[in-house]
Amino acid sequence: MPFVTHLECPKCQTTLDTNALHNLCPCGSPLLVRYDLEALAESITRDDLINERNDMWRYRAFLPVPDDAIVTLGEGMTPMLKAERLGARLGVGELLIKDEGANPTGSFKARGAAAGISMARVLGASTVAMPTAGNAGGAWSAYAAKAAIDCYIAMPEDAPVITQKECDLFGAHTYLVRGLISDAGAIIGRGVKRYGWYDVSTLKEPYRIEGKKTMGIELLEQLDWQMPDAILYPAGGGVGLIGIWKAFEELEAIGWIGSERPKMIAVQSEGCAPLVQAFEAGKMESEFWEGAETLAAGIRVPKALGDFLVLEAIYASDGCAIAVSDAEIMSALRRVSEDEGMWICPEGAATVAALEQLVADGFLGASDNVLIMNTGSGLKYSSVVDIDLPVLDIDEDIEI
């Protein structure tokens, strides 16, 4: 049985029960799932994981979903890869890449969708709706199809074409919007009020973050419960960073780890950097970023609902928020491909570009073990890569 006790608002500490569909706290803040951690600690040890299933649900004691209600496509347990050539080139002690592109639908969004759709079905939702920059829509559409739940999606018309096709292929009612994800969100919001859909926008329901939380438990298990010195995360809505931080807090509470934490580093694009702007000003919340523009669609989020939770983790860990240019992102994407044989997504490449800056600035260096989160497969973003290949006639030879 899950060890869930209640939902809690991190701003005003209001508590709500978990037996009904909830969105935001009445004060407007996202809600977080809370557990009986004392009982959880008595029920499972780290060694018990050896006998658990080899997917995200090996950590189901830390999740709110009853065992008989899990909706899964095999998400989780993604590779942790050593990037030796790239790490040496950048000048860090050890560089690891957690490759979330190996998940179903090709991104880390599968984790949040699996937990969110599972709980939506448990709590009786017949229709879910959300705006998306692309990958979240593809993932939630897939899991909604698996669970036989109706799904409505709105996304910017310049979202990656493959994610548009995913949503449509999985049977979601998919609409393109002449605007940003915030504009798509406004359209979904009107539909929620009119038709009574369950709003599963980023952090507007409490369970997506729980699926993303498993990244934090999983990466530590893969590292034999040793913390890296820094984690670089491409932050749009920032749910994954919040989830990883929440995982660390819960693991410490049950005695699986100590109080040590990595520097949590949020990476954004110079064309949409509200978290960076807030961090540099020492603020706890960001302001809406006007005219957001970047080729890394997943981090083109003008204002994150959970920005205060991202910034809280950054400050508490002595981390930082940093922005990189689209040109730097594309250069880093090619560098990773050539050095490590990995085609990572533009958002993942942004963390590599940021790491290069942080080493140059002396924030990180040769004594640091660094983990970067590649949040999706680069194959889903093939349109951002331009190539110009030589063409041979059949009687021509290759000249070197």
Give dist(CA 369, CA 93) in Å, integer.
5
pLDDT of residue 96: 98
Q: Are strands 369-374 and 80-82 parallel, antiparallel or unpaired?
A: unpaired
Which H helix or E strand runs over 309?
helix 307-316
Domains of the chain, first to last: 80-107+209-384 (3.40.50.1100)
Q: Provide the whole-model pTM.
A: 0.96
> What's the Cα-to-Cα distance from 269 to each of 136, 177, 262, 299, 370, rounded to whole Å?
19, 22, 22, 7, 20
- Model pLDDT for residues 239-271, shown as the tens digit of each residue: 999 999 999 999 999 999 999 999 999 999 999
Q: Is 327 exposed, middle or buried (0-12, 13-18, 19+ CB in 10 A)?
A: exposed
Which H helix or E strand runs over 113?
helix 109-122
The SS3 call for residue 12 is coil
- Model pLDDT for residues 161-208, shown as the tens digit of each residue: 999 999 999 999 999 999 999 999 999 999 999 999 999 999 999 999
Q: Using alpha carbons, select from 65, 97, 69 the residue that is nearest to residue 374.
A: 97
The SS3 call for residue 222 is helix
The SS3 call for residue 384 is helix
Q: Provide the pLDDT confidence category of residue 150 given band limits of 50, 70 and 90.
A: very high
Q: Is the confidence at residue 1, as pLDDT, over 70?
A: no
pLDDT > 70: percent of the chain: 100
Determine contact, residues 353/386, Cβ cutoff 8 Å.
no
Determine contact, residues 171/151, Cβ cutoff 8 Å.
yes
pLDDT of residue 134: 87
Q: Is the confidence at residue 226, as pLDDT, over 90?
A: yes
pLDDT > 90: percent of the chain: 97
pLDDT of residue 355: 98
Q: Give the residue-averaged pLDDT of 97-126.
A: 98
Neighbours of 73 (CB within 10 A): 16
Give dist(CA 397, CA 400) in Å, integer.
10
Q: What is the CA radius of gyration of the chain?
A: 21
pLDDT of residue 2: 82
Q: Using alpha carbons, select from 135, 132, 140, 138 the residue that is nearest to residue 184.
A: 132
Instruction: Give the chain's mean pLDDT.
Output: 96
